A and B are shown apart, each in its own frame.
Chain A
Amino acid sequence: MTTELATPGEESAATSTILTIADAGEALRSGTTTSVELTTAMLEKATALNPALGAYVEITSDLALEQAAAADAAFAAGSDAGPLQGIPLAIKDIIKVAGVPTTANSRILDPAWGGDADAPVVARLRAAGSVFIGKSTTSEFALGMPDADKGFPVPHNPWDVTRTPAGSSSGTGVATAAGLAFGGLGTDTGGSVRGPATVNGHSGLKVTFGRVPKAGVVPLGYSLDSIGPMARSAYDCALLLQVMAGYDAADPNAADVPVPSYTAGLDGSVDGIKIGLPIPYFFDHDQLDPEVRDGVLSAVQALVGLGATSTEMELAHADKAQHANALILVGEAYAYHRNNMVERWTTYGKYTRPGLVRGMFYTAADYVQANRFRVLWCEQVAKALETYDVLITPSAPTTAQVAADMNPSQRLLQPSYTGQWNLSGLPAICIPTGFSSEGLPLSMQIIGKPFAEATVLKIADAYQRITDHHLQVPPVDALITTAA
């Protein structure tokens, strides 16, 4: 890409204070700014910060400026394709964008994977007038951990670059938090949208299985994968999902279920909403950081103050549900990768191999049994959701961990609060609840019934109308100086 960009630091006041898709949309329609201005500012920032933050595998400057100019021309001609027109977004690099290589952050994948057509979800964003800033970094094949040995950018948490930005949708998470995009696409098989949203301090929605067609996405776990919106606010996630959702026959698991308005109910009201708080495992685990727990409980109290009710309850086997999700995930992933694992073991990253190989160590009976357990878990959660509109849990047991301390084996022993909802196929959004004593984002997770994305978005939006945690911006200016 050869586009000449302005020097970092020349970003106009008009563009630098715009944090959300909703605000950017207003600015575009009021004439306060243009898509080219917004896009140029974000390209400058992304280019300057990528050496320090590793948000993008490829910054698609030419494509972005071409799309931005088209959006501005459309506005000028009186043509408005909706809230995403002219909005710069990041696309996780396991999702096909026409004319741009797909790497999955791996030397295994042919960059021409997926042919030259957009994934259906990308085609929808493109038709809505979005601007693609670049392909954002992912853990290798959405599974491993960042591995500098393979030559791909290593993502860093913008709140503290020694901390993990989580995965696997690391780049979209970092870009959203640091202002290198207004949001974008992630994928979630065990928490890969919600993890980055959690530790980078923004919002991320894992959708109901089948809600967004996943054709054109490199698979990880066939029966668990989903594509979800990531953005600073729940309202922005709703704007993104409105375009992303809907049936497409290219995905055999796509659900032919009507798409409601995701913004119509975002009015700040949660009156009468019944919240279940599953205490065992999710709130009383000995590895749960008390600051995380207290942040969630304070947020729940705030929702109660708005008219919701909350009740402590139990969901048995939550730990087993996490294990079952992990087992199914690696089993399905190993089936996809088996031949390459045999023939090209060391071409995979050193942190990817130990995760994928677990799919070989489990037996066929284990996979079937995990899917028998899955039915029990779904029935149990469905029973609970006859009583409660949503469940709320911490998003993760801890704040962002020190990246150098992490390893794949450690994960086997840690509790996790996200995979249970991939196992049950339910929508779940993670949103910020404040900051820890170390200045790291805290987060809660709101889980809803199948295809009730509008409900979890409504509750998340109501909380964000009375708080500003999601609008906090990490101190990345110093990193620009360092990078320059």
Chain B
Amino acid sequence: MSDTTTESTDYDPELVVTAMLAAARLTVSDEEKAQMIKDFPVMRASADELYLPELEFYEPAPKFNPAAYYPA
């Protein structure tokens, strides 16, 4: 398995992952948990980058219709 940890964080991924797994009531192996701890900062970064300033006035697309963006 490749090491995916390339993100530096200001939190402890192990604490976060441990707490979230407990809250979700998921019982995973030590190996799986170790990989989740490595992956979590990458995932978190990919979500954080979506909080773009230019989205301030955007509403989400919970009901999605691709044609809605195109004039008839």
Residues in A lying within 8 Å of B, measured CB to CB: 208-210, 223, 253, 255, 257, 317, 320, 323-324, 326-327, 341-342, 345, 353-354, 357-358, 360-363, 366, 368-376, 378-379, 382, 385, 407, 409-410, 412-413, 424-426, 449-451
Contacts and interface: CB of A to CB of B under 8 A. Distances in A.
Contact of B50 (A366, A410, A412): A366
A341 B52 CA distance: 32
Contact of B4 (A326, A363, A412): A412
Given A376-B58, A379-B69, A450-B67, A413 B47 contact: no
B8 interface: no
A341 B25 CA distance: 9
A341 B47 contact: no
A85 B60 CA distance: 44
12 contacts: A223-B61, A320-B52, A342-B24, A354-B35, A354-B36, A360-B24, A372-B50, A373-B50, A374-B61, A409-B1, A409-B4, A450-B67
A354 B32 contact: yes
A412 B36 contact: no
Helix, strand, loop or mixed for chain A's interface? Answer: helix
Contact of B20 (A209, A361, A382, A426): A361
B1 A407 contact: yes
Given A255-B67, A371-B60, A412 B24 contact: no
Interface residues of B, number: 39
Given A357-B36, A376-B58, A369 B26 contact: no
B42 A412 contact: yes
A369 B50 contact: yes
A410 B58 contact: no
A376 B54 contact: yes
Contacts of B69: 378-379, 382, 450
Contacts of B42: 412-413
B28 A353 contact: yes
B11 interface: no
B30 interface: no
A480 B23 CA distance: 51
Interface string B56-72: 00111110111101100
Given A209-B66, A374-B60, A374-B64, A361 B55 contact: no
A344 B1 CA distance: 24
Given A327-B46, A371-B62, A409-B2, 12 more contacts: A210-B65, A253-B64, A342-B24, A353-B32, A358-B39, A360-B24, A361-B40, A369-B47, A369-B55, A375-B60, A409-B4, A450-B70
A207 to B, nearest CB: 11
A372 B55 CA distance: 7
B9 interface: no
Interface of B: 1-2, 4, 6, 17, 20, 24-28, 32, 35-36, 38-40, 42-44, 46-47, 49-52, 54-55, 58-62, 64-67, 69-70
Contact of A223 (B20, B50, B64): B64
Nearest to A370: B50
Contacts of A360: 20, 24, 26
Contacts of B24: 341-342, 360
A363 B40 CA distance: 12
Max count, chain B CB within 10 A of own CB: residue among A342, A363, A372 = A372
B40 to A, nearest CB: 6
Contacts of A223: 61-62, 64
B50 A378 contact: no
Contacts of A425: 64-66
Contacts of A424: 66
Contacts of A451: 67
B36 A326 contact: no
Nearest to B63: A223
B28 to A, nearest CB: 7
A362 B43 CA distance: 8
B56 to A, nearest CB: 9
Leading 5 A-B pairs by shortest Cβ distance? A425-B66, A371-B60, A323-B46, A450-B66, A382-B69
Contacts of A361: 17, 20, 36, 40, 43-44
B66 A208 contact: yes
A327 B50 contact: yes
A443 B39 CA distance: 30
A450 B72 CA distance: 11
Contacts of A320: 49-50, 52
Given A378-B61, A382-B69, A342 B26 contact: yes
A374 B59 CA distance: 10
A375 B58 contact: yes
B49 to A, nearest CB: 6
